[in-house]
Amino acid sequence: MFGIQARLTFLFVVIVTVVLGISGSYAQYTLAHELEVSNERLRDGVLTRLQTSLPSALWDLDKAKVDNIVAAEMLPPELVAIRVYDTSVGLFSGKRRNPDGSVGNVAANDDVPGTPVVADLAYRETDQGGRPVIVGRVVVNFSRDQIEARLAAEIRRKVGEALLLDLILVVALALSLRIVFDPLKRLRDGLFELATRGSDEVEELPEKRRDELGDVIRGFNAIQRRVKAIILRTREAEDEARRAAQETAQALHDLRQAQESLLQAERLASLGGLVAGVAHEINTPVGIALTSASVLKEATEEIHAAVTAGAVRKSEILKYIETAGESARLIMNNAYRAAHLIHSFKQIAVDQVSEARRRFELREYIGEVVSSLQPRLKKTRLAVSIDCPADVMLDSYPGALAQVITNLTLNCVDHAFLPDQEGTIDIRVQPDGDWIELAVADNGRGIPADLIDKVFDPFVTTRRGQGGTGLGLNIVYNLIVKQFAGTISVSSVEGAGASFVLRMPRVTPGDGPGADGTMHG
């Protein structure tokens, strides 16, 4: 494929050639018209003079005078021959132009080239009818060779001018475009090296130019310095991610120990289902933290491989930074949730609610909870939709509500669908005065009829031996009924999905902001 320089040169040459062709065609047309007009004037002048001077000489049969008149008119090179005929004797006098340009006599049977023009010769005397007396006729042969030669010479001149101008243009463009394309070639080579080699090995381009290309080179050097800085920060982020992974592993170990301690304490305290429920709930944030750490580890290995290969791109670095930030946020949030669950276990066990409460906007908070589940949801083919009016404010316990939404959503993921099965999970909120109605529905396989009345009992599960403990819905039931002072119901048809409907007050009864039953704002 032609480069930009060759295409620009070709384009300019075509434009100049076309312009010169149009101009030359117009000039050629104008010249041909002028030559035709001049030839017409010459022909009319010759015929007029011959018709004026020849009749009297021909009337007197003065051959010498006729010859002189004819010879005088043969001076223009456009005249090939002039033949004068008498009405009685035939050819009276004639001259023709020889191939060498000389003028000689013409015979009656000579083949004369050129275009003949015939005109009658009328004498001033008139006949009895008052008409002029025709004493003879003259035949003048004109040649177009001079016109065609002039036109051909003009075409050769125009073609020569066009070729010369094209040559000059090509040379001028070749010299002038080097001013632009030589720095661009150096910039291209620098970009190629930056893309294929380590950034520390690529030298910055010289910034001596003080024109637009100099600005581009300075911009390239600035980008190169930016890339080096990003790589440095990426390496630092990798080190921080490793430390975070180690801390997460230690936190997981501590959480597992805490889980075992909680289960043992629950057995000793005869709290059974609640202890197992808390243990199951602890597994949720821990699982999310583990998933986030795994995603972070995979992303770190990928960026490390790209850096080692020297083919790292800015988009990959930005993607890694985004993944590292999101994973770190999820690890911190879910580690805090796990610690918070351990802290609140004692309060749940004695049916007392003293967890921190605050006012929050429901739709935004549900979105945050669903976002925290993305490490799990993205491994499925399920779509989660949220239908909640804006500005629905609650004065309640957002941490406990997050547990409810998380357990219900993951319950759909684990029980309603087969692996790799497509489906939808709909979270809908409908305000009802001082209450709200929150529904979590799926279009999965539904709940068996023999389990529909037992789903909120501890240890009831359809996945016994496959990781299901049967405590998730029991925890949801205890939180809704005891902490939120609400109700929860379930409806399902096998093969047509299930729907959990929660009703709870906007202001949760108890101490705290808005606990008097009024909402502000």
121 within 8 A of 136, measured Cβ to Cβ = yes
Which pLDDT belongs to residue 225?
A: 76
With respect to residue 129, please indicate whether it lies within any of the assigned structural domains: yes
What does DSSP say about strands 132-142 and 358-361: parallel, antiparallel, or unpaired?
Answer: unpaired
378 and 296 assigned to the same domain: no
Q: What are the pLDDT digits (tens) for 464-478?
A: 545 445 677 888 888
Let me know whether 345 and 403 are in one domain: no
What pLDDT is stored for residue 429 in this prediction? 95
**Spans of the chain, pLDDT less than 70:** 1-5, 124-130, 180, 187, 190-192, 194-205, 207-213, 255-256, 258-281, 339-355, 459-470, 511-521
pLDDT for res 270 = 32
pLDDT in the model for residue 125: 62
- CA–CA separation, 285 vs 332, rounded Å? 10
Residues 380, 413 contacting (CB under 8 angstroms): yes
CATH code for the domain in which residue 405 is found: 3.30.565.10
What is the pLDDT, as a whole number, of residue 353? Answer: 37
DSSP 201-249: GPPPPP----SHHHHHHHHHHHHHHHHHHHHHHHHHHHHHHHHHHHHHH
Residue 323, C-beta contacts closer than 8 angstroms, at least 6 positions apart: 295, 296, 299
Q: Tally the domains of the chain.
A: 3
Q: Are residues 292 and 431 in the same domain?
A: no
Q: Which helix (H) or strand (E) holds 500?
A: strand 498-505
Find out whether 437 and 430 touch, Cβ atoms under 8 Å. yes
User: Which residues lie below 8 Å from residue 39, measured CB to CB, with a gap of 6+?
Assistant: 78, 142, 144, 147
In a domain, 335, yes or no: yes
Do 333 and 428 sit in the same domain of this protein? no
* Residue 118, burial from CB neighbour count under 10 angstroms (0-12, 13-18, 19+): exposed
Q: What is the CA radius of gyration of the chain?
A: 53
Out of 315, 349, 383, a domain closes at 349
Cβ–Cβ contacts within 10 Å for residue 290, how many? 17
Same domain as 125, residue 16: yes
Residue 84 to residue 104: CA distance in whole angstroms: 14
Give a yes or no: residue 205 inside a domain: no
Angle between helices 314-349 and 398-411 (to 10 degrees): 110
Tell me what pLDDT residue 398 has: 87
Structural domain contains residue 191: no
272 with 398, same domain: the answer is no
Single pTM value for the model? 0.36
In a domain, 215, yes or no: no
CATH of the domain at 146: 3.30.450
- Do 344 and 384 lie in one domain? The reply is no
- Nearest CA among 40, 3, 354, 324 for reference residue 173: 3
Q: What is the pLDDT of residues 61-117, one digit of tens each?
A: 888 888 888 888 888 888 888 888 887 778 888 888 888 878 888 877 778 888 888
Residue 80 carries which DSSP code?
E
Structural domain contains residue 194: no
From first CA to last CA, the distance across the chain in angstroms is 67
Q: What is the pLDDT of residue 389?
A: 93
30 shares its domain with 141: yes
Specify whether 390 is located in the same domain as 338. Answer: no
Contacts 24+ apart (CB under 8 A), 353-356: 353/397, 353/482, 353/483, 353/510, 355/397, 355/399, 355/400, 355/483, 356/397, 356/399
Residue 309 belongs to some domain of the structure:
yes
Which of residues 349, 381, 396 is at a domain's end?
Answer: 349
User: Do residue 456 and residue 477 come from a single domain?
Assistant: yes
Residue 141 pairs in a beta bridge with 81, 116
Residue 95 and residue 70 in contact, taking contact as beta carbons nearer than 8 Å? yes
Q: Mind listing the pLDDT tens digit for each residue in 102-111? A: 888 887 777 8
Angstrom distance (rounded) from CA 501 to CA 122: 126
Is the domain of 309 the same as that of 386?
Answer: no
In terms of Cα–Cα distance, which of 244, 247, 238, 233 is closest to 300? 238
Q: Which domain holds residue 246?
A: 225-349
Query: Is the residue at 198 inside a domain?
Result: no
Mark which of 122, 139, 155 sits at the end of a domain.
155
- Tell me, yes or no, whether 59 and 20 share the same domain: yes
- Whole-angstrom distance, CA of residue 519 vs CA of residue 516: 9
Please, which residues have CB within 8 angstroms of residue 262's CB and are 6 or more apart in sequence? 275, 278, 279, 282, 342, 345
